[in-house]
Amino acid sequence: MINRSLGTSGLEVSAIGFGCMGLNHGYGHSLTENDAVAVIRSAVDLGVTFFDTAEVYGPYTNEELVGKALAPVRDQVVIATKFGFSIDGGRSTGLDSRPDHIRTTVEESLRRLDIERIDLLYQHRVDPQVPIEDVAGTVKELIEAGKVGHFGLSEAGVEIIRRAHVVQPVTALQSEYSLWWREPEAEIIPTLHELGIGLVPFSPLGKGFLTGTISGATSFSDSDVRSNLPRYSEQMRTAHQSLVDLVTAIGARNNATPAQVALAWILAQHPTNVPIPGTTKLHRLQENTAAVDVELSATDLDQLNAASAEVDLSTDRYPAHMQRWINR
Domain holding 84: CATH number? 3.20.20.100
Q: Is 75 part of a structural domain of the chain? A: yes
| Residue 269 dihedral angles phi and psi, to the nearest 5° | -75, -35
122 is annotated as an active-site residue: no
Q: Is 320 part of a structural domain of the chain? A: no
Report in angstroms the alpha-carbon separations of 57 from 78, 87, 168, 198: 18, 11, 26, 23
Q: Is 311 part of a structural domain of the chain? A: no
Q: Among 210, 217, 288, 204, which residue's Cα sits nearest to residue 246?
A: 210
Q: Is 92 part of a structural domain of the chain? A: yes
Structure confidence at residue 328 (pLDDT):
61
On whether the CB atoms of residues 79 and 49 are closer than 8 A, the answer is no
Q: Distance between CA 251 and CA 213 in Å, rounded?
A: 14
Alpha helices in 181-319 (DSSP H): 188-195, 234-239, 241-253, 258-269, 282-289, 298-308
Q: Is 235 part of a structural domain of the chain? A: no
Q: Among 66, 78, 72, which residue's Cα sits nearest to residue 31?
A: 66
Structure confidence at residue 322 (pLDDT):
82
| Residue 314 dihedral angles phi and psi, to the nearest 5° | -80, -20
Structure confidence at residue 123 (pLDDT):
98
Domain that holds residue 146: 3-206+264-293
Catalytic residue among 57, 122, 177, 232: 57
Q: Is 28 part of a structural domain of the chain? A: yes
How many domains, the chain?
A: 1
Q: Is 289 part of a structural domain of the chain? A: yes
- Strands 91-95 vs 85-88: parallel, antiparallel or unpaired: antiparallel
Residue 305: partners with Cβ closer than 8 Å, 6 or more residues away: none
Q: For 96-103, which contacts have Cβ atoms below 8 Å and span 24 or more sequence positions? A: 96/127, 97/123, 97/126, 97/127, 97/129, 97/130, 97/134, 97/135, 98/127, 98/130, 99/130, 99/134, 99/135, 99/137, 99/138, 102/135, 102/138, 102/139, 102/142, 103/138, 103/142
Report in angstroms the alpha-carbon separations of 275 from 7, 128, 270: 13, 27, 11
Alpha helices in 171-225 (DSSP H): 188-195
Percentage above 90 pLDDT, the chain: 91
Q: Is 96 part of a structural domain of the chain? A: yes
Q: How far is CA 171 from the centre of its chain?
A: 14
Which residues of the chain, if any, have pLDDT below 70?
327-328
SS3 readout for 67-81 = HHHHHHHHHHCEEEE
Structure confidence at residue 327 (pLDDT):
66
On whether the CB atoms of residues 188 and 259 are closer than 8 A, the answer is no
